[in-house]
Structure 1
Amino acid sequence: MAYPDDLLVDGERVVLHTHPHAKMLLGPVLYLLLVVAVGVFLAALVREQAWAPWAWLVLGVVGAGLAVRLTLVPVVRWRTTHFVVTTRRVLVREGVLARTGIDIPMSRIHSVQFRHTVLERVLGCGTLVIESASDEPLEFTDVPRVERVHALLYQEVADDV
């Protein structure tokens, strides 16, 4: 079975499965472009030096390290973050090696809210706030199509009652 189907119990089905909004990837892509641009500029500066091959090696290692840390890690974090609404619960899973997760049964959800700024409205994302039996409301940021998710979640909560 594919994720998240392997987490479901009998009679439960997935209503929505999404990742955070792709706007989270804008910064990592810009960092990658900046690392490449600076690396190419510095490589061109030292090309006439006798020690240029060593400088290029160092630039390549540093550039690869920065690209992994500033681009690859956030992309993998984005890809391994799941927001799932099923007919019985809301599941959120994050992480690759060390995973964290939360399950909120529909019967424990008291209210569902959303908010988004003007920029988030343009991008089609926002923050989803779920109030359950816990002390603090749970906020999930960068939820794509947050109004649609809000409506779906509200429908599932109403159907559960």
Structure 2
Amino acid sequence: MMPPHGAPVEELLVARFRSHARRLFWSAVVLIGVCGATAYFYDNLPSGFEDWMLLAAAAAAIVLLVIVPFLIWLSRSYTITTRRVIVRDGLGARSRRELSHTRGYSIGVRRGIIQRMWGAGTITLSNGIDAPLRLVNVPSVNLVHEVLADQIEVNQILAHRDAQSGQA
């Protein structure tokens, strides 16, 4: 349903998602392996080593190989609204990039072999003026592509209609 002529169009959330979580697979394997190795070697270490050394090494491995990759994955989010696409990125210093549907842009989809196996892909949005906006490892990439194309079409129709009603 289209809003009436001249009525302000409310910005609604269409989708909010993160990149595909498959990149956390190796972190999960490391977590399971570190927990298993720590349980096996606790109170069973060769002479010269103490249990606190084992626990410190396990904690360091978990922080570096499990928690840091998870926080990096968690720090990037993609939001599609009825007016724009928003990419938020960063752990400490946050950056934010936006691209308006009204201005129009081209949508490019790139899918590698592994991405195809998981139903993911990388979407590149380019309006020809700004630097392209990349949505990396998007889950259900075909669905997101269709949503973006529909949002561009609706916003172009609304912008054209408002421009025509303003001239009359």
Task: Quickly name the TM-score band, shorter chain normalised.
Answer: 0.7 to 0.9
**Superposed CA offset, 1:12-69 (max 9, x none):** 111111111111211211222333344455546526x3x55xx210111121122012
SS of match in other structure, 2:28: helix
Q: 1:109 to 1:24 in 2, by over 3 A?
A: farther
Q: How many Å apart are 1:78 and its aligned residue?
A: 1.8
Show the counterpart of 2:92: 97
Which amino acid counterpart does residue 127 of structure 1 have in structure 2?
A: T
In 2, the alpha carbon distance for the partners of 1:19 and 1:27 equals 18
Instruction: Give the aligned CA root-mean-square deviation in angstroms.
Output: 2.2
Give the TM-score taking structure 1 as reference length.
0.80
Aligned pairs (5 A) from 1:12-161? 12-40=11-39, 42-43=41-42, 46=45, 49=47, 52=49, 55-161=50-156
In 2, the alpha carbon distance for the partners of 1:79 and 1:19 equals 7
Identity %: 27
Bigger-Rg structure (1/2): 2
Q: How many Å apart are 1:11 and its aligned residue?
A: 1.4
Which amino acid counterpart does residue 145 of structure 1 have in structure 2?
A: S
SS of match in other structure, 1:107: coil
Instruction: Give unpaired runs (5+ residues) of structure 1.
Output: 1-9
Give the TM-score taking structure 2 as reference length.
0.77
**Superposed CA offset, 1:101-150 (max 9, x none):** 11111123420121212321221111111112435433221101011101
Which amino acid counterpart does residue 85 of structure 1 have in structure 2?
A: I
In 2, the alpha carbon distance for the partners of 1:131 and 1:88 equals 16
Instruction: Give unpaired runs (5+ residues) of structure 2.
Output: 1-8, 157-168
* Matched residues, number: 148
SS of match in other structure, 1:142: strand
Q: 1:26 to 1:131 in 2, by over 3 A?
A: same
